[in-house]
Amino acid sequence: MTDQTNNIKNRNVSEVFDAHPKAIREKLLQLRQLVLDTAAENHKELKLKH
């Protein structure tokens, strides 16, 4: 695991990210964070609607 992927709990997932060159890995991790943030925000909105 690299410093960037240490916060990924699933080792298999972190290994996939680590397999990419640093420049690509950084962009993929940014995209991953955007997806996770969006999912968390949508989850909050769904809770409010119920």
Distance of CA 19 to the CA centre of its chain: 15
**CA pair distance 27, 19, nearest whole angstrom:** 13
H or E element, residue 35: helix 22-49
Q: Considering the entire predicted model, what is its pTM?
A: 0.76
Rounded CA separation 25/44 (Å): 28
Would you write out the chain's pLDDT as a tens digit for each of its 50 residues?
A: 777 778 888 999 999 999 999 999 999 999 999 998 998 888 876 665 54
